[in-house]
Structure 1
Amino acid sequence: MFNHLFSAGRIGSMKTKNRIVMTAMGNHLANADGSVSERDIAFYRARAQGGVGLIITECALIDGARGKGNNHQISVAEDRFIPGLQQLAQEIHRYDGKVVVQIYHPGRQGISAVNGNLPMLAPSEVECQAVHQPTIAMTTAEVAAMAEQFVKAAVRVKAAGIDGVEVHGAHGYLINQFLSPYTNKRDDKYGGSFENRLRFLEEIVLGIRQHCGRDYPLLVRLSVDEFLGNANGCELGLQLADGVKIARRLEKLGVDAIDVSSGIYETMNMAWEPSSFKQGWKSYLAEAIKKAVNIPVIGVAVIRDPEYADKMIVEGKLDFAGSARQHYADPEWSNKAKAGKVGELRKCISCLHCMETLMAADLTSIPCQCGINIQSGRELEYSDFKQDGNGRIVAIIGAGPAGLEAARVLAIRKYKPIIFEKTGKAGGQLELANKPPKKDKINWLIGYLTGQVQQLGVEIRFNTAPTLSDLQALKPYAIFIAQGSEPFRPETVPGITGQEVVGAAEILSGKITVTGKKVAIIGSGMTGLETAHLLAENENEVSIFEMAATIGPGLYFQNLIDVMSHLGNLNVKLHPKHKLLQIDNGRALFEIMTNGEKKEYKFDAIVISLGTKPNAALVKEIKENFEQVYILGDALKAGRIRDAMETGFVSAYNL
C-alpha cells in the first residue's frame, strides 16, 4: 500500500527507508542553555518509532548571543552542544530513521527581549511588520562573519553524527531576508543584483562543502514565493520565478536537496496554513522546482492523507512528502499508513494551536502544544498507560471531544467506559464547529475519536440523558461529566428572547435557516465570525457587532486574519465598540462605546453569539452521591478543542 511513499529515498549520500519527512518546526522543549533535553529526545523518538523516514529538527540557532528564536531552542553555536546532538542521532538511528539538523538565524524576525534587548540583525533596516522589533543593518564584515558561523554550526552537526544539515533560507528569516528584494536594500556586494543577494547563502553553502565534504548531505529550505502581493498590495518580494532561479543556482553549487515552502512572517498564513487551506494547495510550488532541478525536492502542502502524498510522488510533483504539524498530531502516522490503517490516523485539523502556543511559550512557560494530541511535547509525562482498570465501570455523560477522548484513554487502560449521549450523534460541539464554510477538517477529528471508541468496544447509549438512578444502577467506579455547555444570553438586555432573535448554535445546526435576509451577529468571537461566514454565503446581508474596540478580541491572529479575509470578500459589515442595549421587533439599539451615543439598526434576524456557560444539570446531585466525580471540557469551563481534549485525556490517564 502506498508503494511510492514507502519506497526508499536518497538525498546525496543519505538513504531513507521511505519518502516521509517530518519537516522542521519549533517545540520549545530544549534546555534553557540550548542543549538537547530529555523532552526533545522523547519527542523525536516518538516520531522515529512512528516510522518517519527523515526527521528535520526544529531550527537550531547558530548565534547564541543574538540569534535566538525563543528561550528553549536547540543550539549548535558552540562545541558543548555536540554531545546532546549525538544522543539525539543515536536515538533516531535506533529506529532506522535519519535525522537532519536545520540551522538558522531569525534576523529581523527575532525578538529583541530574548536577544539581550539588542536590535535584531538584518540585511537592511526594514522592520518586520509582524513582530515590530528594532532592526539594524549588518556591516559587510558582519555578514561575512555570520556566514562563517553557519559553516561552523554545520561542522558541529556533522561531528555529532547527524545525517545531514539543512540551511534555513525560508520563512523570512535572515538568509531569506538577504535573498529577497523586499528586505535587502543593500548597495554592497551582498545586495542589489540577484547574484549579490544570493551571495550570503552561496558563501554558506560553499563553506559547508569545503569543511564538511562533498559527500555530507546538504539541504536548503526555501520560500520560493513570499506571496507579498497578498500582504501589502505589491509584489516586491520573491516570486516563484525567483525561487526557481535560486534553486537552479543551489543545485550548481552542490546542494543535495531543496525543501520547498513559502511565505514570511508578514504572509504567515502562506507558510503555516489555517484550516481553510485545502490539502495540496501549494504543491504547484514544489512541482515547479522539481521540473527545474535534478536533485530531490521535499514538498509541503497541508499533506494529511497518505494516498494524496503517494499520488503527488507518482505525478512527479515532489520526491519527499513533508509535514511538521501532521507528525505533531500523530507520531504514528507513518506506521499506520504503511499498515493500511488509514481510518486510525489522527489527522491534523490545521487549528494552529501549535503555532499560537509556540509564539507565546516564552511568556507562558508552556511548551508548544497540539490541539488534538495531548501527548505531543509531553511524551515523558504521558508515556505509561497503566492497564489497571480491571473492567471497572466509568460512566461518561456526553460524547463530545472531552468525553470521547476520556473514553479512549480509559478503554486503553482496561476500564469499561459507558457513554451517555442525549442526542443521536457523537461529537458534541464539534458537530457545530464543522458547519461553517471551510471547516470540514473538523470531521477528521470526529471520525478519529468515534472510530477509536468503536474499535475499543466502548458502549455509547445514544438519545439518553441519564438520571441519578440510571447512574446509581451502574455502580460506577467514577463518573466523568462531559455534558458540554449552553449558549449564554444576558437576560438584562430587554427583548433578547424575542421571536426574531436566534442563537448561533441554531444557525450552525441547521435548526433555523436564514437566506436572503438582513442579519445582525451580536458578538465577534470565532463562533460569531464563522456563523457570519455561513450566513453571508447563504446570500444574507450580514453585520457584526462587537462591544470591544476591535473585532475578534482574544483570537489568535492567524485564524482571525483568515476568517476576516473571507468576510471581507463577502462584504460583511463590521461594527466594533457597539454595546447592545435592547432589541424590539427587529430593531437593535446600541451604545457607541467611544462617545455614549445611541444608535438603532433594523434587521430581519438577530443572531446572538456571546459565548457559552457550563451545563450544570445534575452536577450537584452527582457530586453528592458519588465519590469520584470529574468534570470535563465545556462542562467545567467553556473553551477550545484543546481544553476539552486535555481535560478528558488527563482525567482518564490519572484515574
Structure 2
Amino acid sequence: MFKHLFSAGIIGSMKTKNRIVMTAMGNHLANSAGSVSERDIAFYGARAKGGVGVIITECALVDGVRGKGNNNQISVAEDRFIPGLQQLAREIHRYDSKVVVQIYHPGRQGISAVNGNLPMLAPSEVECQAVHQPTVAMTTAEVSDMVERFIQAAVRVKSAGIDGVEVHGAHGYLINQFLSPYTNKREDEYGGSFENRMRFLEEIVLGIRQHCGKDYPLIVRLSVDEFLGTVDECEQGLKLADGVKIARRLEELSVDAIDVSSGIYESMNMAWEPSSFNQGWKSYLPETIKKAVNIPVIGVAVIRDPEYADKMIAEEKFDFAGSARQHYADPEWSNKAKEGKVDELRKCISCLHCMETLMAADMSPIPCQCGINIQSGRELEYSDFKQDGNGRIVAIIGAGPAGLEAARVLAMRKYKPIIFEKTDKAGGQLELANKPPNKEKINWLINYLTGQVKKLGVEIRFNTAPTLATLKELNPYAIFIAQGSEPIMPESIPGIAGQEVLCATEILRGEVTLTDKKVAVIGSGMTGIETAHLLAENGNEVSIFEMADTIGPGLYFQNLIDVMSHIGKLSVKLYPKHKLLKIDNGNATFEIRERGEKKEYKFDVIIICLGTKPNETLTKEIKANFEQVYILGDALKVGRIRDAMETGFLSAYNL
C-alpha cells in the first residue's frame, strides 16, 4: 500500500526506508542549558518507532548567547552538547530511522528577553513587524564569525553520529534575512546583488563541505516564496523565481537536498497554516523547485493523508513528503499508513494550539502542546496504560471530545465505559465547531474519536439522557460528567428574549437558516466571528459588535488574521467598543464606550455570541449519590478542544 511513499529514498549518501520526513518544529523540551533531554529522546523516539523515515529535529542553536528562540531549545553551539545528540541518534537508529539536526540563528525574529536583553543580530536594522524586537545590523566581522559558528555546529552534529545536517534558510530566520532584499539592505559584500545576498549561505555551505566532507548529507531549507504580497510588501520579498535561482545555486554547491517551505514571520500563515488552508495548497512550490534541480526535494503542504502524499510523489511534485504537525499529532502515522489503517489516523486539524503554546512557552506555565494528542511531548509521563480496569463499568455522560477521549483511554485500560449521549450523534461541541466555512478538518477529529471507541467496543446510548435512577441501576465504578456547556443569554439585557433574537448554536445546528437578512452578531470570540462568516457566506448583511477595544480579544493572532481575512472579503462590518444595552423589536441600542454615547441600529435578526457556561444538569445530584465523580471538559470549565481532550485523557489515565 502507498508504494511510492514507502519506497526507499536517497539523500546524498543517506539511504532512507521510506519517503516520510518529520520536518523541524520546536517543542520546548530541551534542558534549559540547551542539552538534549530525556523528554526529547522520548518524543523523537516515539516518531521513529512510529515509522518515520527521516526525523529532522527542531532548529538547534549555533549561538547560545545571542541566538536563542526560546529557553528550552537544543543547542549545538558547544562541544558539551555532543553526548546528548549521541543518545538521540542511538534512540532513533533503534528503529531504522534517520535523524538530521537542523541548525539556525533567529536573527531579527528572536526575542531580546531570552538573549541577554541584547538587540537581535540581523543583516540590516530592519525590525520584524511580528515580534517587534530591537535589531542591530551585524558588522562584517560578526558575519564572518557567524559563518564559522554554523560550520562548527555542523561538525559537532556529524561527530555525534547524526545522519545529516539541515541548514535553516527559511521562515525569515537569519540566513533567510540575508537572502531576501526585504531584510537585507547591506552595502558590503553580503548585500545588494543576488550573488552578494547569497554569500552568507554559500560560505556556510562551502565551510560545512570542507570540514564535514563531500559525503556528509547536507540539506538546506528554503522559503522559496516569502508571500509578502499577503502583507502588502509584494515588491520587496523573495518570490518563487528567486527561490528557483537560490535552489539551483545550492545544487551547484553540492547540497544534497532542498527542503521547500515558504513564508516569514510577517507572512506567518503561509508557513504555519491555520485550518482554512487545504491539503496540498502549496505543492506547486516543491514541484517548481523539483523541475529546476536534479537533487531530492522535500515538500510540505498541509499533508495529512498518506494517499495524497503517495500521489504527490508519484506525480513528481516532490521526492519526500514532509510534515511536522501531523507527526506531532500522531507519532504512529507512518506505521498506520503502511499497515492500511488509514481510518485510525489522528490527523492534525491545523488548530495551531502547538504554535500558540510554543510561542508563549517561555512566559507561561503551559509548555508546547498538541491540541488533540495529550501524550505528545509528554511521552515519559503518559506511556504506562495500566490494564487494570477489570471490566468495571464507568458511566460517561456526553459524547463530546472529553467524553470520547475518556472512553478511549478507559477502554484501553480494560474498563467498560458506557456513554450516554442525549442527541443522535457523537461529537458534542465539535458538531458545532465544524459548521462554519473552512472548519471541515474538525470532522477528522470526530471521525478519529468515534472510530477509536467503536474499535474498542465502547457502548454509546444515543438519544439518552440518564436519570439518577438509571445511573444507580448501572452501579458504575465511577461517573464522568462530560455534558458540555450551554449558551449564555444574559437576562439583564432587556429584550434578549425577543422573537428576533437567536443564539449562535441555533445557527450552527441548522435549526434556523438565514438568507438576505440584516444580521447583528453580538460578541467577537471565535464562535461569533465564525458564525458571522457562515451568515455572510449565505448572503446576509452582517455586522459584528464587540464590547472590548478590538475584535477577537484573546484569540490567537494567526487564527484571528486568517478568519478576518475571509470575512473582510464578505464586507462584514466591525464595531468594537460597543456594549449592548437593550433590544427592542430588532432595534439594538449600544453604548459606544470610548465616548459614552448611545446609538441605535436596526436589524432583522440579532445573534447572541457571548460565550457559554458549564451545563450542570444533574451534577449536584450525581456528586451527592456517587463516590467517584469526575467532571470533564466544558462541564467543568469552558475552554478549547485541548482543554476538553486533556480532562478526558487525564481523568481516564489516572482513574
Equivalent residue, structure 2, for 1:375: 375
- 2-side partners of 1:397 and 1:479: how far apart? 8
Q: Deviations over 1:179-213 (max 9, x none)?
A: 00000000000000000000000000000000000
The Cα of 1:530 is off from its aligned counterpart by 0.2
Equivalent residue, structure 2, for 1:300: 300
Q: Secondary structure at the match of 2:550?
A: coil
- 1-side partners of 2:233 and 2:282: how far apart? 20
Equivalent residue, structure 1, for 2:482: 482
The Cα of 1:234 is off from its aligned counterpart by 2.8
Equivalent residue, structure 2, for 1:510: 510
- 1-side partners of 2:200 and 2:292: how far apart? 22
Moved over 4 A (4+): none
CA contact (8 A) 2:169 2:175 kept: yes
Alignment of 1:453 with 2:453, yes or no, is yes
- 2-side partners of 1:234 and 1:384: how far apart? 52
- 1-side partners of 2:224 and 2:455: how far apart? 43
Q: Secondary structure at the match of 2:95?
A: coil
Question: What amino acid sits opposite 2:621 in the alignment?
Answer: E
- 1-side partners of 2:635 and 2:343: how far apart? 29
Compared CA separation, residues 329 and 281, structure 1 to 2 (3 A): same
Question: What amino acid sits opposite 1:475 in the alignment?
Answer: N
The Cα of 1:233 is off from its aligned counterpart by 4.6
Question: What amino acid sits opposite 1:313 in the alignment?
Answer: I
Equivalent residue, structure 2, for 1:603: 603
Alignment of 1:24 with 2:24, yes or no, is yes
Q: Secondary structure at the match of 1:55?
A: strand
Q: Secondary structure at the match of 1:144?
A: helix
Q: Deviations over 1:590-614 (max 9, x none)?
A: 0001011000000000000000000
Alignment of 1:560 with 2:567, yes or no, is no
Alignment of 1:168 with 2:163, yes or no, is no
CA contact (8 A) 2:515 2:540 kept: yes
- 2-side partners of 1:213 and 1:497: how far apart? 75
Match runs of 1:215-614 below 5 Å: 215-614=215-614
CA contact (8 A) 2:303 2:322 kept: yes
Equivalent residue, structure 1, for 2:200: 200
Equivalent residue, structure 1, for 2:158: 158
Q: Deviations over 1:344-367 (max 9, x none)?
A: 000000000000000000011332
Unaligned runs of 5+ in 2: none
Question: What amino acid sits opposite 1:472 in the alignment?
Answer: K
- 2-side partners of 1:235 and 1:170: how far apart? 19
The Cα of 1:320 is off from its aligned counterpart by 0.1
Equivalent residue, structure 1, for 2:135: 135
Alignment of 1:44 with 2:52, yes or no, is no
CA contact (8 A) 2:61 2:77 kept: yes
Question: What amino acid sits opposite 2:420 in the alignment?
Answer: F
Q: Deviations over 1:397-435 (max 9, x none)?
A: 000000000000000000000000000000000000000
Alignment of 1:210 with 2:216, yes or no, is no
- 1-side partners of 2:474 and 2:328: how far apart? 38
- 2-side partners of 1:335 and 1:120: how far apart? 42
Q: Deviations over 1:160-187 (max 9, x none)?
A: 0000000000000000000000000000
Question: What amino acid sits opposite 1:244 in the alignment?
Answer: V
Equivalent residue, structure 1, for 2:628: 628
Q: Deviations over 1:113-161 (max 9, x none)?
A: 0000000000000000000000000001110110000000000000000
CA contact (8 A) 2:290 2:297 kept: yes
- 1-side partners of 2:567 and 2:600: how far apart? 23
Q: Deviations over 1:287-324 (max 9, x none)?
A: 00000000000000000000000000000000000000
Question: What amino acid sits opposite 2:442 in the alignment?
Answer: I
Q: Secondary structure at the match of 1:527?
A: helix
Q: Deviations over 1:226-279 (max 9, x none)?
A: 000111253210000000000000000010000000000000000000000000
- 2-side partners of 1:301 and 1:373: how far apart? 21
Q: Secondary structure at the match of 2:304?
A: coil
Q: Secondary structure at the match of 1:181?
A: coil
Q: Secondary structure at the match of 2:543?
A: strand
Question: Is the deviation greater in 225-234 or in 414-423?
Answer: 225-234
Question: What amino acid sits opposite 2:391 in the alignment?
Answer: G
Question: What amino acid sits opposite 2:625 in the alignment?
Answer: N
Question: What amino acid sits opposite 1:642 in the alignment?
Answer: R
Alignment of 1:118 with 2:121, yes or no, is no
- 2-side partners of 1:299 and 1:637: how far apart? 40
Question: What amino acid sits opposite 1:591 in the alignment?
Answer: E
- 2-side partners of 1:392 and 1:312: how far apart? 47
- 2-side partners of 1:360 and 1:170: how far apart? 21
Q: Deviations over 1:619-650 (max 9, x none)?
A: 00000000000000000011100000000000
- TM-score, with length taken from structure 2: 1.00
Question: What amino acid sits opposite 2:17 in the alignment?
Answer: K
- 1-side partners of 2:316 and 2:509: how far apart? 42
- Report the number of matched residues: 655
Question: What amino acid sits opposite 1:585 in the alignment?
Answer: N
Q: Secondary structure at the match of 1:280?
A: coil
Alignment of 1:94 with 2:104, yes or no, is no
Question: What amino acid sits opposite 2:534 in the alignment?
Answer: L
- 1-side partners of 2:551 and 2:561: how far apart? 11
Question: What amino acid sits opposite 2:400 in the alignment?
Answer: G
- 1-side partners of 2:383 and 2:233: how far apart? 49
The Cα of 1:489 is off from its aligned counterpart by 1.0
- 1-side partners of 2:331 and 2:239: how far apart? 33
Equivalent residue, structure 2, for 1:187: 187
CA contact (8 A) 2:227 2:234 kept: no
CA contact (8 A) 2:276 2:439 kept: yes
- 2-side partners of 1:9 and 1:404: how far apart? 39
Question: What amino acid sits opposite 1:387 in the alignment?
Answer: Q
Q: Secondary structure at the match of 2:58?
A: strand
Equivalent residue, structure 2, for 1:177: 177
State the superposition RMSD in angstroms. 0.4
- 1-side partners of 2:229 and 2:641: how far apart? 33
Q: Secondary structure at the match of 2:5?
A: coil
Question: What amino acid sits opposite 2:168 in the alignment?
Answer: H
Compared CA separation, residues 317 and 456, structure 1 to 2 (3 A): same
- 1-side partners of 2:360 and 2:102: how far apart? 22
Q: Deviations over 1:467-511 (max 9, x none)?
A: 000000111000000000000011100001100000001001100
Q: Secondary structure at the match of 2:259?
A: strand
The Cα of 1:36 is off from its aligned counterpart by 0.2
CA contact (8 A) 2:289 2:297 kept: yes
Q: Secondary structure at the match of 2:237?
A: coil
- 2-side partners of 1:327 and 1:257: how far apart? 21
CA contact (8 A) 2:61 2:104 kept: yes
